[in-house]
Structure formats: structure tokens, C-alpha cells
Structure 1
């Protein structure tokens, strides 16, 4: 499923509880962000931020952060990583880590859990089960931990 389609489905699912999909980030904003963090975003993150500059979902206060929010605090990014998503005002964080030839999305809960190397897959899991429901993000964490 494309990023645009995933965002449309997420928006429809959360319309009742409340969701704000931000307008797209400009190419200049994306380039400025990459310059500030010191590395290039993966293609699917560029596609996401070119489609919307994050979103805020009222249910569980789940967010995918705006580019400019990611770099507000130096503790939220490093030389090859940044926190891009949170819920309940940073009670838990999902992050991107970039290596030379690949990237991974991980969670820093009690134990670090690498979830995927696909923003599409991350968004699909959120669409299926939000944070706590079957097939959602924490269900996914448990699936991986039990392997």
C-alpha cells in the first residue's frame, strides 16, 4: 500500500476520535532537516514527509512528529538516528536508525526491539491495531520478542 493510501486509511479510521494530518513538508524543509541531522532520509521517509509533515492522533496521543519537532531537542537525534514517533507525550518512542546500506525502525522500551526496515510496514501495523490492539505496535513487539 502506498504512503498516501495508508495515511488516508489511518485518517478514516481515527476520524471519530480525532486526527490531524499535517500539510506536506517542502523539499527545502526536508533538505534542511537532512542537513541538520547529518544524513539522508530513506526514500519511504521522504515520500511520507512529502505527503504529510507528520500526524497527531488523539487516541493514545500517538504522533508521527513534524520534521521541525524532531530537531527541537538534541536528545531526540544523533549522528545516524532520530525519534520520529511517540505516544502519550513521549511515554514511548519509535526511532529510525540509518546504516550505510539499510535502515531499521526500533523501539526503546524495556529492551531495544528492532521492528522493521520499512515505514510502510510500520504504518500498516499501526493501521491494523493501533498501539495496543491485536496486530498493533505492541502486539508486534511481543511477536518479535517471543522469536
Structure 2
């Protein structure tokens, strides 16, 4: 996870990226209590390393835990939005399916799970940002979320 975050930072240094200091375990615990389910290990590792980031490219963000909790409409009984672009024009969330199973989804089509892996999600962003070949929206097209 650390190498992936480093690669994202290196790719976006010229355009601008803010990496937020890692969350404390107590912050993660409070977040899990608020949303009502445990985070997958990948998300815990990510948030311990960096509590989100803000990237000037496409105004793409991984949202800090406190910012998620400030917006009750950004989380529910079994889900929360963890990423957005263009100041909440579009969002990606994590849904808890029970029995230690999760899926990442896009707000454009809540019925389609994209992946269960934050690493895969971040690798797609690293490869093609939001709109470039290999990026998040090309992935949406592959999955049938958008045409």
C-alpha cells in the first residue's frame, strides 16, 4: 500500500497533490463505530498510512475519515463514500456485504460492484486517473456502469 501511495504522489507531484497524515487507530475505531461495521484490512492500512489525499488532477480525492463523518448523507448502515471527484460530482463507496465481504461501488449505479479491493481501485486511478485510458471511467465502461 505504501508503494502505491508513493507512486500516486510521484505521478501527481507536478499537478499538485496533498497527502494527509495517517489516521490514529482511535480515529479508525471511532469511524468504524460510527458506520457500524469494521473496515477491511486494506482500508485500515491505507488510512493508517494516509488519511486520504486531494489531487488537483480531476479534483479527485480520497476523503479523510472525519470529513466522511461530517456528512451523514455520505454513509449509511452498511456503506460509506470514500472517494469523489469534481467536488462531489461523482463518488465511489464501500459497501459491507456481511461475513467479512465488501465491494466498492460507484454512485452512478449502486447495483454494480466494481471490486472488493482498494488496491485495485487505486491502481486504476494511478494508471489512468479518472478519464484517461485504464482509469476509473474506462473501468466503469468495462463494467457497464456507464456507456
Structure 2 CA distance, aligned partners of 1:97 and 1:25?
A: 21
Distance 2:95 2:5 in 1: 22
In the TM superposition, residue 42 of structure 1 has moved relative to its aligned partner by 0.6
Q: Give yes or no for the alignment of 1:30 onto 2:28.
A: yes
Give the corresponding residue for 1:57.
55
Q: Distance in 2 between matches of 1:41 and 1:58?
A: 27
Give 4+ residue runs of structure 1 displaced > 6 Å after superposition. none
* Rounded Cα–Cα distance in structure 2 between residues aligned with 1:74 and 1:120: 26
Normalising by structure 1, report the TM-score.
Answer: 0.95
CA distance in 2, matches of 1:23, 1:140: 29
Shift in Å, 1:75: 0.5
Using the TM superposition, give the Cα deviation of residue 37 of structure 1 relative to its aligned residue in structure 2, in angstroms: 1.1
Using the TM superposition, give the Cα deviation of residue 66 of structure 1 relative to its aligned residue in structure 2, in angstroms: 0.3
Corresponding position of 2:67: 69
Which of 97, 100, 108 does residue 99 from structure 1 map onto?
97
Q: Which runs of 5+ in 2 are unaligned?
A: none
Aligned to 2:41: 43
> Deviation per CA, 1:30-70, whole angstroms, max 9, x where unpaired?
00111111111011000000110000001111000000000
5 Å-filtered alignment, 1:1-147, equals 3-101=1-99, 102-109=101-108, 111-112=109-110, 113-145=112-144
SS at match of 1:16: coil
Count of equivalent residues: 143
Q: Distance in 1 between matches of 2:33 and 2:116?
A: 22
Give the CA RMSD over aligned residues. Answer: 1.0
Q: CA deviation at 1:99?
A: 1.4
**Greater strand content:** 2
Give the whole-Å Cα distance in 1 for the aligned partners of 2:113 and 2:37.
20
Gaps in structure 1 of 5+ consecutive residues: none
Instruction: Report deviation, 1:100.
Output: 1.2
